[in-house]
Amino acid sequence: MNNKQRDALSFFCQVEDDVATAPHGGPGEICEVLPPGIGRLRRGKHFSVFKKEHAEEAAAVYNFLLALDSYDDFKANVEKMRPLLNEGIYLYAISVAWLHRTDTVGNLLPPSWQINPKCYFSSEAILQAKREARRRRDVTVGSRPVPLFSTGTVRDAEYKMAWWREDVMFNDHHYHWHQVYPWKGIDGKTKDRQGELFYYMHQQMLARYDAERLGVGLMRVEPYVDWSRPIKEGYNAHLTDYYGTQQFSARPANLYLADSWQDPNNPILVSQQVYHYNRLLDAVNTGQFLKSDRTTEEVTIDRLGAAVEASVSSPNIALYGSVHNIGHDLLARITDPDGRYKSADGVMGDAAVSVRDPIFFRWHKFIDNLFVLHKLNLEPYTEKDLALDDLTITSGYVKVPSSGERNVLTTRMEDFIVDISHDMFLDPDPQDSANTPVNVKVKQINHDHFEYIITMESTKAMKVAIRIFIAPSFDEHGTQLPLSSQRSLFIEMDKFVHNTHAGTNTITRSSSASSVIKPTELTYDQLQKRNTGEEEGVCTCLADRYCECGWPEHMLLPRGTPSGMQFDLFVMATDWSADSTDNLDRGTSYCGVKNKKYPDSRSMGFPFDRKLKYNTIDEFVQGFSNMYSTPVKITYTGYKTSE
């Protein structure tokens, strides 16, 4: 194994005396080499990237590490910091530094669900899996992974979506996205179109969530709008903090949002949130931000994303506040707003686990509606914006090679076994022998691999972008969705560049090549074994990709229904020589490209991000030769057990 890949594992491995060096709950000892502002959050306390002071401390750590010239210095400082930093800050900030240093390229971080399994698997399952592993050493009972305990029951309608919200790699996707795009920026600066990507990545999560809700017979998610009314859905994650000492607070149904006076010097008031939200509405309605020097700035989707999140690039933090982050924080504190019971925060406070809670999606739908309002103020795309007359898509369909069926895709739930023995925060037990796997079994969705087959007539050689989306065809009542409602449900499935020649062109594109999915997924053990024939710095994904970021491949398709749920497949070709920003001939949809501009100059979500003057998807497509649409069915074939 190359040395740096080994370091990526060792930074996050178990350390025998980690707990002893700085006792749980005790203050970290500040090392003289560390800059001011580091070591403030005590060890054993929950870290929340949505809390300003925590995010600032994490940023101080990764910016310090990023400024170190030599790799050896970087490594030495990481090792020095480990026993001093709050555990959550360490995990988050060292990962951010690793993802952004130029001398670590090509070396992958171990999966967070293996090095910090307590944030992914219920405490009951972890306890039982450990017992099982210890028992196995004494008695030969075979390797029996412990199934994950369910976090709810059928009494809760939202429990129908638990399999999706609690998916390990979905949670991981969200956590990594916030590492690639920290709201405190890298060295105080945000990246190209970071605000727009904040909007788009979360909007796509909502589109996927709504498609799944329709599939299980639930209404599309309602935005959490009225903060003076109780929240009717509750949630209990059954997860503990990193050391397993304190559970993330459950959030019972029917609680009200309340002011938080946990820190009397820094109260968080619901009325302040209302004030800032109203200022954001002012900006959306007038099309202008008011800056602190009293000048104005045009509202764009990117700048609105910066204002709403609110990143270091916010046009005016005093006026527009930090509505998104503070919403997370208040919802995380809702069970014990003033801290009188010393309760831990709920999962909404931690980017690694927040998508588990149904309120996450209600909160983000509320946030998304600000972006929707802004986009509704924009002129619809013109025919010139949408057309590509030199190209005609004559057919498009999907095919599952294993069945040969056209336009019928298949999904299933299957078992996924995870070895959680690499928990970096595990309090080592002298009885445990090294390298004993501790297995838990989770169910996750998967699909049969499929292909898009697209045929086009081109009048000349061209470089085109092929944009593929799907959206449910029908609403909750089985009525065909008008395009005005359906457009927000379109899920980006792929975007790629193709060089056409004059005449007929047929493209076969594999579902596994999708631009939305995470390129590599190697387990801790696979990373350990990755030494054969490897040169230092050789990557299993492209060096300018954020290898840890992207949608999990097994969730690429919505699950559908047993009888087949109809979706509209939409394919559009545009002129990539005009669209491309950096001559980079590939799309990256949710994660962008390392150290480069976002490769596609079109608005994210194009062409569905603006009002469309067509009634249905068919009517839209009929007017343009470079578009194609066809119904496809997604059939859920049930659970296939591995036993």
Q: In terms of Cα–Cα distance, which of 314, 308, 299, 303 is closest to 328?
A: 308
- Closest distance to ligand CUO from the beta carbon of 546 (Å): 15
Distance, C-alpha 46 to centroid of its chain = 20
- Closest distance to ligand CUO from the beta carbon of 124 (Å): 26
165 binds ligand CUO (CB under 6 A): no
309 catalytically annotated: yes
Out of 220, 279, 328, 554, the residue judged to bind ligand CUO by CB under 6 A: 328
Which lies closer to ligand CUO via its Cβ, residue 354 or residue 446? 354
Token pair belonging to 124: 């009951």
Contact code string over 166-195 relative to ligand CUO, x by CB under 6 A: --------x---x-----------------
Distance, C-alpha 599 to centroid of its chain = 20
Beta bridge partners of 517: 551
Residues with Cβ within 8 Å of 359's Cβ and at least 6 positions away in sequence, in order, are 224, 231, 233, 235, 251, 331, 348
Could you say which residues in the range 261-280 bind ligand CUO, by CB under 6 A? Answer: none
Could you say which residues in the range 355-384 bind ligand CUO, by CB under 6 A? Answer: 364
Residues touching ligand CUO, count (CB under 6 A): 8
- What gap in Å lies between CA 75 and CA 11, rounded to an integer? 9
Could you say which residues in the range 197-256 bind ligand CUO, by CB under 6 A? Answer: 202
- According to DSSP, residue 353 is labeled T
- Closest distance to ligand CUO from the beta carbon of 171 (Å): 11
Helices H / strands E in the chain, number of each: 20, 12
Which lies closer to ligand CUO via its Cβ, residue 590 or residue 628? 590
Q: Which helix (H) or strand (E) holds 63?
A: helix 52-66
Q: In terms of Cα–Cα distance, which of 98, 70, 164 is closest to 527?
A: 98
Burial 199-229 (b: 16+ CB within 10 A, else e): bbbbbbbbbbbbbbbbbeebebbebbeebee
Which lies closer to ligand CUO via its Cβ, residue 31 or residue 317? 317
Could you say which residues in the range 106-125 bind ligand CUO, by CB under 6 A? Answer: none
- What gap in Å lies between CA 90 and CA 335, rounded to an integer? 27
- What gap in Å lies between CA 208 and CA 634, rounded to an integer? 14
Which lies closer to ligand CUO via its Cβ, residue 167 or residue 568? 167
Count of positions (residues) in the chain: 643
DSSP 3-state assignment of 580?
A: strand
Q: In terms of Cα–Cα distance, which of 518, 494, 509 is closest to 586?
A: 494
- Closest distance to ligand CUO from the beta carbon of 419 (Å): 28
Which lies closer to ligand CUO via its Cβ, residue 209 or residue 567? 209
Which lies closer to ligand CUO via its Cβ, residue 324 or residue 375? 324
Amino acid at 79: E
Amino acid at 591: C
- Closest distance to ligand CUO from the beta carbon of 55 (Å): 12
Q: In terms of Cα–Cα distance, which of 525, 532, 572 is closest to 422?
A: 525
For 440, list phi and psi in degrees, rounded to 5.
-120, 155
Out of 203, 236, 354, 410, the residue judged to bind ligand CUO by CB under 6 A: 354
Which lies closer to ligand CUO via its Cβ, residue 174 or residue 467? 174
- Closest distance to ligand CUO from the beta carbon of 309 (Å): 7
- Closest distance to ligand CUO from the beta carbon of 347 (Å): 11
- Closest distance to ligand CUO from the beta carbon of 178 (Å): 6
Q: In terms of Cα–Cα distance, which of 132, 207, 214, 119 is closest to 480?
A: 214
DSSP 3-state assignment of 417?
A: strand
Amino acid at 232: K
CB 182 within 8 A of CB 97: no
Token pair belonging to 429: 């037990």
Beta bridge partners of 495: 467
Token pair belonging to 578: 């005009």
Which lies closer to ligand CUO via its Cβ, residue 367 or residue 493? 367
- According to DSSP, residue 13 is labeled S
Which lies closer to ligand CUO via its Cβ, residue 181 or residue 425? 181
Could you say which residues in the range 448-467 bind ligand CUO, by CB under 6 A? Answer: none
Pairing of strands 503-510, 451-458: antiparallel
Q: Of 309, 492, 521, 553, which is the active-site residue?
A: 309
- Closest distance to ligand CUO from the beta carbon of 348 (Å): 8
Which lies closer to ligand CUO via its Cβ, residue 178 or residue 586? 178
- What gap in Å lies between CA 198 and CA 202, rounded to an integer? 6
- Closest distance to ligand CUO from the beta carbon of 328 (Å): 6
Pairing of strands 288-290, 296-298: antiparallel
Q: Annotated catalytic sites, by residue?
A: 309
Q: Which residues bind ligand CUO (CB under 6 A)?
A: 174, 178, 202, 324, 328, 351, 354, 364
